[in-house]
Amino acid sequence: MDFFNILIIAHIAGGGVSLLIGTVVLFLKKGTRLHKLLGNIFYYGLLLASLVALPMSYLHTNYFLFIIGVFTAYMLISGRRYMVTKGKPQWQDWALTGIMFSFALAFLGLSAYQFFWGNMMGTVLLVFGSLSLLFVYQDWTNFTDRSVGENAYLTTHLQRMAGSYIASVTAFLVVNNTILPPVIAWLLPTAAVTSLIVLWSRKYKSLKA
């Protein structure tokens, strides 16, 4: 068994566990012991899958696998950091945001390149690049005490974890899709789960931590 096949096994194992557990966590009451336990399993499983995706995308060139890997890892790590720091950023948090800002610009630049050559998959890059910039801006407002609401760190944590779940579902759907147009397969999970993110954000925005 070569190195790439080992990476595939790790990627499928981590992604499969996170997809199943994440679906359960999505509908659990937040803050319970079960939510925290399953949330940790989801976090480490998906983090493994997303980090393994980076060397996989290099060994067998796949730009979109790389994008999903970077985006998911950022959402997971930053989401967890918000709960660790309770909204009091450390240098690691600023560094992570700066790295994601660079990737967001790269995604948007690649999107423009795809559109220039008439490739409509540039839409996917445009969406992920724009979302990345949005989250980077959210980090900046939170880190500089410009956010609205008493529990910005909590709502941001929920948004990032749900966002990483979206990325997991997206990867699964794209790989196994045989019916939907590719662009729809990439964007459908984002459209479906965004309503839940908005609902949670409103619910937990003013709660005391």
In a domain, 148, yes or no: yes
pLDDT in tens, 9-42: 999 999 999 989 988 987 888 778 898 999 999 9
Measured CA to CA, the distance from residue 9 to residue 147 in angstroms comes to 41
Measured CA to CA, the distance from residue 111 to residue 27 in angstroms comes to 34
pLDDT in tens, 141-164: 999 988 766 678 888 888 888 888
Report the number of distinct structural domains present in the chain.
1
CA dihedral 29, 33, 36, 37 (to 10 degrees): -120
Q: What's the mean per-residue pLDDT of the chain?
A: 85
Q: How confident is the model at residue 93 (pLDDT cuts 50, 70, 90)?
A: very high
What pLDDT does 209 receive? 43
In a domain, 43, yes or no: yes
CA distances from 179 to 148, 169, 206, 207 (A): 42, 16, 42, 43
In a domain, 209, yes or no: no
In a domain, 133, yes or no: yes
In a domain, 97, yes or no: yes
Give the range of the structural domain holding residue 163, as residue numbers without chain letter. Answer: 3-204
Measured CA to CA, the distance from residue 164 to residue 45 in angstroms comes to 11
